Amino acid sequence: MNFPTRTTLRNAVLLVMAAILAVGLNVAHAKSIKQQNFVELLSHTDSIVVGTVSKKTDGFQQGLPYTEITVDVAQSVKGDHGETYSFRQFGLIAPKRTGDGRVNLMVTPAGWPTYAKGEQVMLFLHKPASETGFQTTAGLTQGKFSVHGGEIANGLGNDGLFEGVRIDAPLTAEQQNLVRRPGGAYRTEDFFALVRQAVEENWIENGVMTHEN
């Protein structure tokens, strides 16, 4: 039986430490990544952008591997992103040769969002890391919503997104149907309208949207 070498184990530890440093996650937030409902997701979101992925590149910043995603912005639901917005997420697109002839294998970790040019997205972005400026979506794949035709879903297929959520605000019939569903793709415009209302009316800050008792 082949056991991992000390070098392999050390590299694995360094990869995890670098990932945590790159996105600025604290331990408590890292443990909550498994599944988040809409209250938790919005609470961890610094900005929200809707648009189309126009460019994707990768490289190294102070020795840390990154993928840079550029989005042509259609809407800034929360925050001001200008006509285009670029951010760097930890991990390479694919293994990449370094200047010393070695190959860096630190690609985007499993469970983290990935992007394709031309993809239409709604991104719930976490605050950029203070040390690196790296940024990813709140809840990782849970905070990246992909638009396909008239429907939208996150990396978990919206599973449990409104489970345990209480909203003390008037909702349209379409929005009521949306929040009652256990999962599955939502009608894009219904979800957009709900998110905009939650942000503009400060549902989290004003206690309008909370966890059920």
pLDDT tens column, 46-74: 999 999 999 999 999 998 999 999 999 99
| Encoded amino acid at 14, one letter | L
- pLDDT score for 99: 78
Dist CA 183 CA 201 (whole Å): 25
Residue 2 has pLDDT above 90, yes or no: no
Residue 37 CA to its chain's centroid (Å)? 13
| Encoded amino acid at 65, one letter | P
Dist CA 66 CA 51 (whole Å): 21
Exposure string of 135-154, with b = 16+ CB inside 10 Å and e = fewer, is bbbbbbbbbbbbbeeeebbb
**How many separate domains does the chain show?**
1
- pLDDT score for 101: 82
- pLDDT score for 8: 46
Dist CA 189 CA 152 (whole Å): 9
To the nearest whole percent, how much of the chain has pLDDT over 90? Answer: 77
Looking at 24-95, list the stretches that DSSP marks H as alpha helix, in order from N- to C-terminal side.
27-31, 38-43
Residue 123 backbone class (left: φ over 0; alpha: ψ -120 to 50; beta: rest): beta
Dist CA 165 CA 35 (whole Å): 14
Report if residue 192 sits inside a domain: yes
Domain, as residue range, for 63: 6-211
- pLDDT score for 45: 97
Total residues belonging to the chain:
213
Contact between residue 144 and residue 121 where contact means Cβ atoms under 8 Å apart: yes
- pLDDT score for 90: 95
Report if residue 35 sits inside a domain: yes
Rounded to an integer, the average pLDDT of 88-117 is 92
β-bridge mates for residue 186, sequence order: 152
Report if residue 121 sits inside a domain: yes
Report if residue 1 sits inside a domain: no
- pLDDT score for 213: 74
Rounded to an integer, the average pLDDT of 163-183 is 95
